[in-house]
Amino acid sequence: MSSSFYERDKGLLIVISGPSGAGKGTICKELLKHEKNLEVSVSATTRDPRNGEVEGKNYYFINKANFLDMIGNNEFLEYAKVYDNYYGTPKSPVLEKMDRGIDVILEIDIQGAAQVRANYPEGIYIFVVPPSIKELKKRITERGTENPEQLNKRMECACDEIRNATKYSYIVINDEVTVAAKQVSAIITAEKCRSERLKSKIEEIIGR
């Protein structure tokens, strides 16, 4: 991956992290409505599907043995154990999309983001936070997908996770989803104008 440093025609790798309930998924959905050159990577997980979640769309739901096989076969760009389940990003679909010039978003936890960053520092690292912890609890409770024990676990982890926000290049406060999605779009646009990414374009303009 590192040989691809700032290649102009290559898609961007955008990593979004943030505590459960911060609204990463909703922001991605909103972004997909407006950004035509963008796809969200579908992760594999050992957690059970929630009501309404669709295989291959939300996640690839696989068992632990299959997940461990995929680790052994080096099929993940990154993987981590989060809230007692394994989650991982299948490598080849991401690399293949970026090679075709498509920007790819990974919606992954802080451990996975650190693994990706080690191999791909030119990626775009964005941390999404809720406006307050009170609001975060309200959102997770209203979502109704976690039992009280799971809810408490996610709330306990939330503050620890948010402490990592300043390690990311960008922080987006998700108070209102359309505003937050616009901020992520602006980040993507600015990254595309980075001089490092446009070196070959400049050569082209001056006719070298």
115 vs 185, which CB is nearer to ligand 5GP?
115
Q: What is the dihedral of CA 40, 41, 42, 46, to 10 degrees?
A: -130
From CA 37, how far away is CA 204, in angstroms rounded? 23
Do 90 and 77 touch, CB atoms closer than 8 A?
Answer: yes
Q: Scanning residues 15 to 54, which ones bind ligand 5GP (CB under 6 A)?
A: 20, 43, 47
Closest distance to ligand 5GP from the beta carbon of 9 (Å): 26
Do 104 and 94 touch, CB atoms closer than 8 A?
Answer: yes
Which residue's entry shows tokens 């996975």? Answer: 112
Contact status: 109 vs ligand 5GP (CB under 6 A): yes
From CA 154, how far away is CA 161, in angstroms rounded? 10
80 vs 188, which CB is nearer to ligand 5GP?
80
Which region, judged by CB under 6 A, interacts with ligand 5GP, from 29-37, 102-110, 122-130, 167-175? 102-110
Q: Closest Cα partner for 176 from 127, 126, 131?
A: 131
Do 31 and 105 touch, CB atoms closer than 8 A?
Answer: yes
C-alpha 86 chain-centroid distance: 16
Among 11, 23, 112, 123, binds ligand 5GP (CB under 6 A): 112
Q: Scanning residues 152 to 171, which ones bind ligand 5GP (CB under 6 A)?
A: none
Closest distance to ligand 5GP from the beta carbon of 140 (Å): 9
Q: Scanning residues 60 to 89, which ones bind ligand 5GP (CB under 6 A)?
A: 78, 80, 82, 87-89
- Which parts of this chain interact with ligand 5GP (CB under 6 A)? 20, 43, 47, 78, 80, 82, 87-89, 107-109, 111-112
